Amino acid sequence: MNFDVIFFIGPQGSGKGTQARVLAERLGFFYWEMGGIIREVSHEDSEIGKKARELHDAGVLFPDDFLIEIAKDRLVRIPAEQGIIFDGIPRRIGQAEYLFDYLQQHNRTRMATLFIDLPREESINRLMLRASKESRKDDTREAIEFRLAQYEKDTVPVLDYLRQHTTFMTIDGQPEVPAVTAAINASLGL
């Protein structure tokens, strides 16, 4: 495998976070999980941390310029020789354009995308099951459908961008976790 950057993308419930963590650990790559990084930042006693808390408390989507501000702050902390697996970014074209510009300026040009494909109804079923197992009261069917609609509106257009700028691989996200892991490893030649 000759990639130094791998993007994981797919709908909620596709298992991309699980797969991204497993692959990052196997390869020794930095695992960039956007939600976790935002949570870290929001606990910081800094201007960016204060802004993250305000946006979170207001319940609004984090705007691209703020996510890019976080990325600028965090990307410089990753050792140049360490690969990166991105999960949760890019979710919109502006984020993709920023990341590609940054990565190329820092000699990270061997990029792959693993698109974990999952039908909409299967995403809903998995998220509803997870919500009931974890007693997540905020994960109603309506809330899940709203998040999937956001994914379809904002993130699906990013797929074309990634197809043009990376080695793009589609992975069927429907099988059990070990089978999806095996398909990812085979796609990457591991």
Q: What count of Cα atoms within 13 Å lies in the side-chain half-sphere of residue 6? A: 29
d(CA 136, CA 93): 31
pTM for this one?
Answer: 0.91
Average pLDDT along the chain, 190 residues, taken 10 residues at a time:
94 94 97 91 90 81 88 91 94 93 93 96 91 77 87 92 96 96 96
d(CA 94, CA 116): 21
For position 140, what pLDDT does the model report? 83
Write out the H or E segment, with its range, that includes residue 32: strand 30-33
Topology of the domain covering 5-188: Rossmann fold (3.40.50)
d(CA 88, CA 33): 6
Strand partners of residue 8: 87, 114
